[in-house]
Structure 1
């Protein structure tokens, strides 16, 4: 388990909170493991009917802890725990609700594509700046995001690092409602409670009909293979070295 993942069960809802507000809830390997275990155990627990993801403070999550990526890029580690967590999201049969109080970067945005209901705060911003880090999209987002918003808009998010704001998320069908920051978590909890009162078999069957979990897992694994190669590339070493040295990267060196 991780001290930065808070898990609470109540009324058929398992609430998984990213609780590292001093780091904008950036996800460490330990946090990925704890969140994955909570997701997977929810699938087999008859007392859990819905999962709710949220973030403590004014961020949902800033995505992967860049220190972990930098350790892989510089050869100090070969461990990245994001893939098992993403596969657990893709395979989840029970409904997943997300409460997004603010910033969502990288996987913070792409994991929302696996959620069934999404409530976002007015000031939230959503970015997927993978190419800036010499990386590629993950969490099957190279398939899911273009399917939702079109190739050119998705490419601009991936390659140029362009952001979506909360109102654009709503207009593009990526969010159910835009609310004040204080209203986001209560609205998500209310929706999760409503879902928990419905026939679970019908909910699970509906979700299975609406998405192809095996196709999403296959895409995630294909992305992950390229992602790992990119993490060990000269471009990634330059990107993460520049980040740690607080300077602009110079990819002409590569």
Structure 2
């Protein structure tokens, strides 16, 4: 595992924690690899019935590590690690539950679209700021988000990149249930433990049926987005946006 992704397994629940608190759980290539490896292990383990993912320190994830992205822009083939994670995530056959506090930005927000249940603090906020960075949506969000909330609302969220507060996300169906600040992990764990007690084969077959109609479309979206994303990383717009972001943070 990465130093910034922890794993524990208890009562049939695999708990994955993004634990890079000083960077608001920004995700590096090593973390992508660790997450992909953990999900692949879970697929083949009869001891794991459900996977729960959450973030340490008050935020779910601030998305991709921008400093690392600047380096990836010079060698886009390094994106293969993140694309592998997204493929593993999108094909994951066991229930996947997220507990969300604080900010869920970029891939921190788009990975939630692949979860079967999302439990969020009332203070949580989702953001999809790809266009502002000169990029395009990823993680099949260009397909999944319109399917969930309709084209017009998805266009607004993906183009403008404004924060979506937890209440709005709940009303749009992106979040199952809301809770008080600091309680999302425990609420997500309660649901995970409840699902872990259900008949395993029935759960797997039922999730497969729910995902069946969009299965091929999701994979096609991942391929389309990946190609465009890789091209955009080389663009002058993206380079300027990254520079502006890093200078603003300084």
TM-score greater than 0.5 by the shorter chain? yes
SS at 2:183's partner residue? helix
* Alpha-carbon distance, 1:78 to partner: 4.0
Aligned partner of 1:45 in structure 2 is: 45
SS at 2:17's partner residue? strand
Provide, for residues 10-48 of structure 1, a one-character-per-residue CA deviation record: whole Å limited to 9, x for no partner. Answer: 111000000001111000000000011001110110100
Trace 1:124-135 onto structure 2 (pairs within 5 A).
124-135=124-135
Provide, for residues 163-219 of structure 1, a one-character-per-residue CA deviation record: whole Å limited to 9, x for no partner. Answer: 211111111111111111222111110100000000111111111111133331221
Cα separation, 2, equivalents of 1:79 and 1:161: 25
- 8 Å CA contact 1:101–1:120 kept in 2: the answer is yes
- 8 Å CA contact 2:95–2:207 kept in 1: the answer is yes
* Alpha-carbon distance, 1:72 to partner: 2.4
* Alpha-carbon distance, 1:77 to partner: 6.4
- 8 Å CA contact 1:72–1:232 kept in 2: the answer is no
- CA change 1:217–1:55 in 2 (3 A) is same
Aligned partner of 2:226 in structure 1 is: 224
Trace 1:55-204 onto structure 2 (pairs within 5 A).
55-73=55-73, 75=74, 78-80=77-79, 81-204=81-204
- 8 Å CA contact 2:28–2:64 kept in 1: the answer is yes
* Alpha-carbon distance, 1:90 to partner: 0.5
* Alpha-carbon distance, 1:157 to partner: 1.3
Count residues with an aligned counterpart: 246
- 8 Å CA contact 2:8–2:14 kept in 1: the answer is yes
Cα separation, 1, equivalents of 2:76 and 2:85: 19
> Where does the alignment leave 5 or more consecutive residues of structure 1 unmatched?
248-254
Provide, for residues 37-72 of structure 1, a one-character-per-residue CA deviation record: whole Å limited to 9, x for no partner. Answer: 001110110100100000001100001111121112
Aligned partner of 1:252 in structure 2 is: none
Aligned Cα root-mean-square deviation (Å): 1.3
Q: TM-score, normalised by structure 1?
A: 0.93
* Alpha-carbon distance, 1:155 to partner: 1.1
- 8 Å CA contact 1:91–1:214 kept in 2: the answer is no
SS at 2:248's partner residue? coil
Cα separation, 2, equivalents of 1:31 and 1:115: 18
Cα separation, 2, equivalents of 1:140 and 1:84: 13
Cα separation, 2, equivalents of 1:203 and 1:48: 13
